[in-house]
Amino acid sequence: MLKDGTKLDTLADARAFILEELSETDQARNAWQKAAELLMVAAEAKGDVAAVTKQIELALFMQGRWLLPK
């Protein structure tokens, strides 16, 4: 869960967050680039959703947007 209460429950939610909520500067950061790469692979049913989740959590943490679930 994000600090503003947003939940990223699906790959589609994660995609929308990256494309609609992040600035171009943030999208260009290595952590988000890796997350986007893993997301695309997972969306094609060839990748590991757990790996995407872990990378998105890392990217969110690095930006200070992530909160641990209660």
* Residue pLDDT, tens place only, 5-14: 889 999 999 9
Q: What residue type is 19 in one-letter code? A: L
Contact indicator for 52, 38 with CB cutoff of 8 Å? yes
Q: Are 64 and 26 in contact (CB under 8 A)?
A: no
pLDDT one-digit tens code per residue, 15-70: 999 999 999 999 999 999 999 999 999 999 888 999 999 999 999 999 887 655 54
- The whole-angstrom separation of Cα 64 and Cα 23 is 15
**What is the pTM for the complete model shown?**
0.84
